[in-house]
């Protein structure tokens, strides 16, 4: 079970959160006729770094963007929605905001 | 074959059966001989001492047969003295506390203990299925796959044999009675968690604790000390066991240290979370009052020290499963820790130095050590060799065990000289003995390490797998890091403890490591498979628990199952309760030899939690029965209970189902009576559980416009509107009424089932998708008690209660607004919100009051309704009336229906965009022949329709044609979603989804309900049965 650093509450156990989904998606703008199918159905299944959304349902009820290595479960960074980007090298390892996960 | 003879010493002891003589030595051992404990095994009364395990007590009583093997039902004795035990599985305790498959080696003896052997019939000594051994050549690895799969799967062969095979190939049986004991759960956090309380773990805990951080030390055995209790070594001049006791006392005195003996760390999970189970009461005949049997610990540690030790491996030679073949380290432990001499005449067979210590210790305990058979050409390190020679014990260098002799137990060991490659040279010789103490070297206990996702690496020099680079914040110390000698354990444990504390933020204290004599060792020989000369009968067992022999692994290799994961599944090597703790290495070595590769290249199978079996009761903890999930009660719950309602679960809520008028009024009679009462006069229903979400802000109307398919900007203050939401994929998500309480203030209602989901849905869109909208939303479901007052007399009744003009002009259908109950009456005034909405189709109002006033308001309405014969009505009547009105609910909003399917397509606004708008327009979502909502009535006017029943064409064949002959299944054209009975129409009614249903009204089709055994013709009708014009609710 992970520990996730909520930007508003601090580090909390995974049981307080609900997994929402891919955090890199952008919903098509209101009125847009295209892009909905891709938004709803098409997902990458990355091995390695991934940004996902977790909902702190048993805490502050805010959505938290979590940059996580899907292979090692290492959490590299957390922030508000849109605050965490997918590129791995933008957050130097060890200096990451959310590196409280206990990875050696 | 020449008899092996050692140099003559005193007269040789006989190898008579052990029952004829005491096995307990006169003194010694770490047992309390003043406390004698009684127990029974298979009904035979025996005694042991405080400090015994069940295994040591059985051995002391001369019991050499403790179980029957899994497949061949061969006789098996105690093999080890620890968690790795493959043979001595017993059923413990009686009645509801019965527990199968406990390892006798890990069961602490207590007064009154009752144990039984398993997997035998009628008795352990005379097991009829031992006949399996005679057919062993015909039941090789993969027997079941080969016999019952493939072509045979189409026959009834497997079904015929399954029952008897499952009974024969088995572990112990449990009980069907409910567990009377309690289980507890605990969460702990610490800077350093030390797993394993042997010399390494104690040294690590001592060093880590000096840093000042929180330290937890867990050990699976009854007391700390590990091998220090089983061996005779000294630390800083102090006897090992005494040092361990002193360490325990010193650590216990520290406020920052928590000691958890009898606690198994069974799983290493993400982010340094370790699952442990503490056996709080398993050493007692039953738990003390208010104490749990076991306690599940979830420990989150900043740093972990793994000091999990090592497990001695066996050697594979013919009939090595006979009772009397034991691990050398265990033989020594029984003598040193429990004062039990497991045999009188012992042969040691080894590929490493450690077993030499067994020879010394057993000689000192008074046993006759016949010889040390060392598979290495050069043998042990010189001081060890000298110690053995000094005792007059012969050492045979470069010899290997070939076959254990004896039928019921070991009576001798055949041995053979082997060359550099392990091939036999020369003739066999035999040694008489009653114990063969074997040692295939020690394998680090890497279970927890591997569970972190890190990989074990093979070490040629040490002939074992060692922990590779860590993946989590942990380090291994002592034997589990391949550093087997006591001095290495103490040094490694000390360093690991200091390192862990420092990494967790503590300052490095000045503390000297405990010291022990440095004992050099010669390397082991990486050989486990002993030669089997032609014409030597017997199987060379590798996995004792699963009856897997060398020949099975070689067969798997020949048949292509060469990866260790395939090997495991094909042969069952390493399965069962012991998960291959004493068999995997030898098994992998046999496979590596068959493939002609290095053992390191075969790798290991994946280690998964749990390390040893964990009782399901411990995992469930206290969350059983009514504590399994929280129960949500409405503010009027106590009234319903007092009124004697029947209940129905709605998610976590409980809601009244019916309110029986008298004892014995059945479900049907009750809800029909309630339905009639509402339609005839007046009824009151608790609707608190509907989700209520308060939505406020300047952009609230715009937000609702995006959530719902219909428009909200034109809704005036003081009005409610029915709304429908889609998912992003265009299918219906939820429905409900939403009221405009103020210009920027809305109250949304959702279905009971979706209340939580819709709240999260709203939060997602406000926080992630449209954070620019100035809107806030809060769940107020529990802040308001809600009740529906429905029926032709609703206005008349309510007018006597609230302070509003309820006339059709002043408060028309879909009006809403604040009101006060009993305005001006001191002490009875209740502020409320009133909504003129109707689910029943009658003239109806919904009243919301602050939750604390819920019961008072309810009672006030019941009193005010008395002149109109008001009845409370439950979920059944509520659901029945909504079916009469054709309102959709959960069974229709099943995640597969579109708004159009439900006849609500016209609600979809074309003037705005909303969630799901685009994908709802996909061709398949708008096909005319989709399943559409219809009403259904039985043609015979009386057969009840079944929810979930299939709808087929009226002339559909009774059965599908044979698929093999190219026949087609009976085409399903729809299904029944909701069923009820209309008292007004006086016949059963239902809602259903039927292909192109709206165009098929009055068509007769067939309902097939094989689950309930019903079949009838039904007529498709419009999905509104009562008051189709809606005159009543507007009245």
HEC readout, B516-578: CCCCCCCCCCCCCECCCCCCCCCCEEEECCCCEEHHHHHHHHHCCCCCHHHHHHHHCCCCCCC
Cβ neighbours of A82 in B, within 8 Å: 768
Domain boundary among B716, B745, B779: B779
| Within-domain flag for B794 | yes
Nearest C-alpha in A relative to B503? A104
pLDDT score, position B795: 97
DSSP per-residue string spanning B849-917? EEGGGHHHHHHHHHHHHGGGT-EE--HHHHHHHHHHHT---TTT-SSS--TTTTT-GGGS-SSS--TTT
**CATH number, domain containing residue B425:** 3.50.50.60
Instruction: Look over chain B and give the mean of its residue pLDDT values, rounded to a whole number.
Output: 93
Same domain, B167 and B39: yes
Cβ neighbours of B471 in A, within 8 Å: 72, 103-104
Cβ neighbours of B299 in A, within 8 Å: none
Closest C-alpha among B685, B670, B671, B677 to residue B634: B685
Phi, psi (deg, nearest 5) at residue B67: -165, 175
By the CB < 8 Å criterion, does B757 face chain A? no
Structure tokens at B742: 């103020």
How is the beta sheet containing A18-22 ordered, strand by strand?
A: A18-22, A49-55, A63-69, A75-79
| Within-domain flag for B121 | yes
| A103·B472 Cβ contact <8 A | yes
Same domain, B669 and B801: yes
Give the Cα separation of B747 and B696 in Å (integer): 9
Structure tokens at A68: 């996580």
Interface A–B counts its CB contacts (< 8 A) at 67
Is residue B772 within 8 Å of B659, Cβ to Cβ? no
Is residue B85 within 8 Å of B578, Cβ to Cβ? yes
**Would you tell me which residues 265-284 of chain B have a C-beta closer than 8 angstroms to some C-beta of chain A?**
269-273
- With a cut of 80, say whether residue B963 has pLDDT above it: no
User: What would the mean pLDDT of B959-976 be, rounded to a whole number?
Assistant: 80
Same domain, B594 and B672: no
- With a cut of 50, say whether residue B583 has pLDDT above it: yes
Helix (H, G, I), strand (E, B) or coil at B680: helix
Closest C-alpha among B187, B214, B215, B189 to residue B202: B215
Cβ neighbours of B767 in A, within 8 Å: 62-63, 81
User: What would the mean pLDDT of B690-705 be, rounded to a whole number?
Assistant: 98
Structure tokens at B553: 């692994």
pLDDT band at A95 (very low <50, low <70, confident <90, very high): very low
Structure tokens at B371: 């010889």
pLDDT score, position A104: 32
Same domain, B435 and B359: yes
Q: What share of chain B is helix, strand, coil (3-state, %, to 5)?
A: 25, 30, 45
Q: In angstroms, how far apart are the furthest CA atoms of chain B? A: 120
For residue B353, the 8-state DSSP code is S
Cα B713-B714-B716 angle, rounded to 5 deg: 110
Same domain, B301 and B270: yes
Same domain, B419 and B451: no
Is residue B686 within 8 Å of B655, Cβ to Cβ? yes
- Strand B1004-1009 versus strand B1014-1021 pairing type: antiparallel
E strand or H helix that includes residue B123: none
pLDDT score, position A87: 62
Structure tokens at B913: 């965009």
User: What would the mean pLDDT of B117-124 be, rounded to a whole number?
Assistant: 84
pLDDT score, position B606: 86
Give the Cα separation of B582 and A93 in Å (integer): 41
- Asked if residue B122 has a cis previous peptide bond (ω within 30° of 0), the answer is yes
By the CB < 8 Å criterion, does B767 face chain A? yes
pLDDT score, position B167: 64
pLDDT score, position B169: 61
pLDDT score, position B1: 45
**CATH number, domain containing residue B869:** 3.30.1360.120
Same domain, B28 and B157: yes
| B271·A55 Cβ contact <8 A | no
| Within-domain flag for B406 | yes
Same domain, B156 and B40: yes
| Within-domain flag for B625 | no
By the CB < 8 Å criterion, does B455 face chain A? no
Chain center to CA of B639: 39
Q: Which CATH superfamily is domain A3-90 in?
A: Folate-binding superfamily (3.30.2270.10)
DSSP per-residue string spanning B128-197? GGGGGGGGGGGS-TTHHHHHHSGGGGGSSHHHHHHHHHHHHS-------SPP-S-EEEEEEEEEEEEE--
User: What confidence tens digit (pLDDT) does each residue in B620-661 have?
Assistant: 999 999 899 999 999 999 999 999 999 999 999 999 999 999
pLDDT score, position B957: 85
Q: Which range has the worst mean pLDDT, B6-20, B454-468, B918-932?
A: B6-20
Closest C-alpha among B931, B6, B966, B804 to residue B431: B6
| B767·A63 Cβ contact <8 A | yes
Same domain, B738 and B699: yes
Domain boundary among B152, B173, B194: B173
Residues in contact with B279: Cβ distance below 8 Å, sequence separation at least 6, in sequence order: B262, B263, B264, B293, B294
pLDDT score, position A89: 46
- With a cut of 70, say whether residue B893 has pLDDT above it: yes
User: What would the mean pLDDT of A44-58 be, rounded to a whole number?
Assistant: 94
Domain boundary among B503, B526, B545: B503
Distance from CA of A70 to the nearest CA of B (A): 12
pLDDT score, position A100: 38
| Within-domain flag for B216 | yes
User: What confidence tens digit (pLDDT) does each residue in A1-35 have?
Assistant: 899 999 999 999 999 999 999 999 999 999 999 99
Residue B588: give the domain boundaries. 535-611
Optimal mutation site among A10, A17, A104, interface B, most CBs of chain B within 10 A: A104
Closest C-alpha among B862, B775, B799, B12 to residue B367: B12
Optimal mutation site among B702, B918, B924, interface A, most CBs of chain A within 10 A: B918
In chain B, the number of structural domains is 7
User: What confidence tens digit (pLDDT) does each residue in B441-477 have?
Assistant: 999 999 999 999 999 999 999 999 999 999 999 999 9
| Within-domain flag for B55 | yes
pLDDT band at A102 (very low <50, low <70, confident <90, very high): very low
Same domain, B112 and B141: yes
How large a percentage of chain A has pLDDT more than 90? Answer: 73
Distance from CA of A61 to the nearest CA of B (A): 8
| Within-domain flag for B11 | no
User: What confidence tens digit (pLDDT) does each residue in B710-747 have?
Assistant: 999 999 999 999 999 999 999 999 999 999 999 999 99
| B764·A31 Cβ contact <8 A | no
Nearest C-alpha in A relative to B454? A72
| A1·B269 Cβ contact <8 A | yes
| Within-domain flag for B942 | yes
Q: Which range has the worst mean pLDDT, B76-80, B466-470, B642-646, B925-929?
A: B925-929
pLDDT score, position B174: 84
Q: Which member of B271, B453, B472 has the closest CB to residue A3?
A: B271
Q: How far apart are the first and last CA of chain A?
A: 16
Phi, psi (deg, nearest 5) at residue B248: -60, -45
| B471·A72 Cβ contact <8 A | yes
pLDDT band at B70 (very low <50, low <70, confident <90, very high): confident
- With a cut of 80, say whether residue B15 has pLDDT above it: no
Residues in contact with B477: Cβ distance below 8 Å, sequence separation at least 6, in sequence order: B200, B201, B203, B204, B305, B306, B307, B483, B489, B492, B493, B495, B496, B497
Structure tokens at B982: 């209309």
Same domain, B871 and B796: yes
- Asked if residue B673 has a cis previous peptide bond (ω within 30° of 0), the answer is no
Same domain, B163 and B290: no
User: What would the mean pLDDT of A45-66 be, rounded to a whole number?
Assistant: 95
**CATH number, domain containing residue B1004:** 2.40.30.110
Nearest C-alpha in B relative to A22? B768
How large a percentage of chain B has pLDDT more than 70? Answer: 95
User: What confidence tens digit (pLDDT) does each residue in B390-442 have?
Assistant: 999 999 999 999 999 999 999 999 999 999 888 999 889 999 999 999 999 99
Is residue B435 within 8 Å of B351, Cβ to Cβ? no
């Amino acid at each position: 079970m992970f520990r996730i650093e909520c930007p508003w509450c601090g580090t909390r156990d995974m049981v307080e959160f609900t997994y929402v989904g891919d955090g890199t998606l952008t919903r098509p703008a209101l009125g847009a006729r295209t892009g909905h199918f891709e938004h709803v159905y098409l997902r990458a299944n990355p091995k390695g770094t991934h940004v996902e959304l977790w909902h702190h349902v048993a805490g502050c009820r805010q959505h938290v963007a979590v940059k996580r290595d899907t292979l090692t479960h290492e959490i590299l960074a957390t922030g508000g929605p849109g605050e965490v980007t997918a590129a791995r090298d933008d957050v130097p390892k060890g200096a990451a905001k959310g590196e409280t996960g206990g990875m050696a | 074959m020449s008899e092996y003879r050692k140099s003559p010493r005193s007269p040789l002891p006989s190898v008579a059966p052990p029952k004829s003589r005491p096995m307990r030595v006169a003194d010694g051992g770490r047992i309390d001989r003043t406390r004698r404990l009684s127990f029974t095994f298979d009904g035979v009364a025996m005694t042991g001492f405080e400090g015994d395990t069940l295994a040591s007590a059985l051995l002391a009583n001369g019991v050499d047969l403790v179980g029957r093997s899994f497949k061949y039902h061969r006789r098996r004795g105690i093999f080890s003295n620890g968690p790795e035990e493959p043979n001595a599985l017993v059923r413990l305790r009686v009645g509801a506390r019965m527990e199968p498959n406990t390892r006798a080696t890990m069961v602490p003896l207590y007064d009154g203990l009752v144990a039984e052997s398993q997997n035998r019939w009628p008795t352990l000594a005379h097991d009829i299925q031992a006949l399996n051994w005679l057919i062993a050549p015909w039941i090789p690895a993969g027997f079941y796959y080969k016999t019952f799969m493939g072509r045979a799967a189409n026959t009834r062969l497997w079904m015929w044999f399954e029952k008897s095979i499952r009974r024969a190939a088995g572990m112990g049986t449990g009980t069907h009675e409910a567990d009377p004991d309690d289980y507890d759960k605990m969460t702990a956090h610490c800077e350093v968690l030390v797993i394993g309380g042997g010399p390494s773990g104690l040294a690590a805990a001592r060093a880590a604790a000096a840093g000042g951080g929180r330290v937890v030390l867990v050990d699976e055995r009854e007391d700390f000390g590990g091998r220090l209790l089983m061996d005779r070594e000294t630390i800083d001049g102090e006897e090992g066991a005494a040092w361990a006791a002193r360490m325990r006392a010193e650590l216990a005195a520290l406020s920052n240290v928590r000691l958890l003996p009898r606690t198994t760390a069974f799983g290493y999970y993400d982010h340094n979370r370790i699952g442990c189970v503490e056996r709080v009461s398993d050493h007692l005949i039953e738990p003390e009052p208010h104490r749990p049997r076991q306690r599940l610990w979830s420990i989150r540690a900043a740093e972990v020290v793994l000091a999990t030790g090592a497990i001695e491996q066996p050697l594979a030679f013919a009939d090595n499963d006979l009772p009397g073949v034991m691990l050398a380290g265990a033989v020594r432990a029984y003598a040193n820790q429990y004062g039990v001499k497991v045999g009188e005449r012992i042969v040691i067979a080894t590929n490493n130095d450690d077993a030499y210590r067994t020879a010394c210790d057993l000689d000192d305990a008074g046993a006759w050590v016949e010889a040390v058979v060392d598979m290495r050409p050069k043998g042990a390190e010189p001081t060890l060799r000298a110690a053995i020679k000094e005792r007059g014990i012969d050492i045979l260098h470069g010899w290997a065990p070939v076959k254990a002799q004896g039928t019921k137990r070991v009576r001798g060991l055949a041995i053979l000289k082997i060359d550099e490659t392990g091939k036999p040279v020369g003739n066999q010789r035999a040694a008489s003995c009653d114990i063969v103490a074997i040692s295939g070297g020690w394998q680090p206990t890497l279970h927890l390490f591997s569970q972190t996702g890190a990989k074990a690496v093979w070490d040629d020099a040490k002939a074992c797998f060692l922990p590779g680079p860590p993946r989590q914040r942990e380090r291994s110390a002592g034997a589990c890091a391949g550093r087997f000698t006591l001095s290495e354990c103490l040094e490694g444990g000390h360093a690991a403890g200091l390192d862990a504390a420092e990494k967790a933020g503590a300052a490095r204290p000045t503390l000297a490591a405990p010291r022990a004599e440095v004992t050099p060792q010669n390397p082991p020989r990486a050989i486990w498979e002993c030669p089997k000369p032609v014409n030597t009968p017997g199987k060379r067992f590798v996995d004792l628990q699963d009856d897997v022999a060398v020949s099975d692994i070689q067969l798997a290799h020949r048949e292509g199952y060469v990866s260790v994961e395939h090997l495991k599944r094909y042969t069952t090597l390493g399965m069962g309760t012991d998960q291959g703790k004493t068999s995997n290495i030898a098994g992998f070595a046999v496979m590596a030899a068959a493939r002609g590769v290095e053992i390191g290249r075969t790798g290991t199978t994946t280690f998964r939690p749990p390390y040893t079996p964990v009782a399901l009761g411990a995992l469930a903890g206290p969350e059983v029965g009514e504590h399994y999930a929280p129960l949500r009660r409405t503010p009027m719950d106590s009234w319903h209970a007092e009124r004697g309602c029947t209940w129905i679960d709605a998610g976590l809520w409980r809601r009244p189902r019916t309110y029986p008028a008298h004892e014995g009024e059945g479900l049907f009679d009750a809800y029909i009576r309630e339905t009639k009462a509402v339609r005839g006069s007046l009824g009151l229903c608790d609707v608190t559980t509907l989700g209520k979400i308060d939505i406020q802000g300047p952009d609230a109307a715009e937000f609702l416009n995006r959530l719902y398919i219909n428009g909200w900007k034109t809704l005036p203050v003081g009005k409610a509107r029915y709304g429908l939401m889609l998912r992003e994929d265009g299918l219906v998500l939820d429905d409900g009424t939403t009221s405009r309480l103020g210009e920027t203030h809305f109250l949304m209602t959702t279905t009971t089932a979706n209340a939580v989901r819709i709240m999260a849905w709203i939060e997602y869109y406000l926080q992630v998708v449209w954070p620019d909208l100035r809107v806030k939303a809060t769940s107020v479901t529990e802040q308001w008690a809600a009740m529906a007052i429905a029926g032709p007399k609703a206005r008349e009744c309510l007018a006597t209660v609230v302070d509003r003009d309820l006339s059709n002009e002043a408060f028309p259908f879909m009006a809403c607004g604040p009101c006060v109950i009993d305005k001006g009456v001191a002490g009875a005034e209740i502020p409320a919100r009133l909504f003129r909405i109707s689910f029943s189709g009658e003239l109806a109002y919904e009243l919301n009051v602050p939750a604390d006033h819920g019961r008072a308001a309810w009672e006030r309405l019941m009193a005010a309704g008395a002149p109109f014969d008001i009845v409370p009505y439950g979920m059944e009547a509520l659901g029945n009336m909504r079916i009469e009105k054709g309102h959709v609910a959960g069974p229709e909003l099943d995640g597969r229906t579109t708004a159009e399917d439900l006849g609500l397509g016209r609600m979809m606004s074309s003037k705005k965009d909303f969630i799901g708008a685009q994908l709802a327009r996909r061709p398949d979502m708008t096909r005319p022949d989709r399943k559409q909502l219809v009403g259904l009535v039985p043609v015979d006017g009386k057969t009840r329709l079944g929810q979930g029943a299939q709808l087929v064409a009226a002339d559909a064949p009774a059965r599908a044609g044979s698929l093999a002959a190219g026949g087609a299944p009976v085409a399903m054209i729809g299904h029944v979603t909701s069923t009820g009975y209309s008292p007004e129409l006086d016949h059963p009614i239902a809602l259903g989804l039927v292909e192109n249903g709206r165009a098929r009204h009055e068509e007769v089709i067939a309902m097939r309900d094989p689950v309930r055994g019903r079949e009838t013709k039904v007529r498709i009708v419009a999905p509104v049965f009562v008051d189709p014009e809606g005159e009543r609710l507007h009245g």
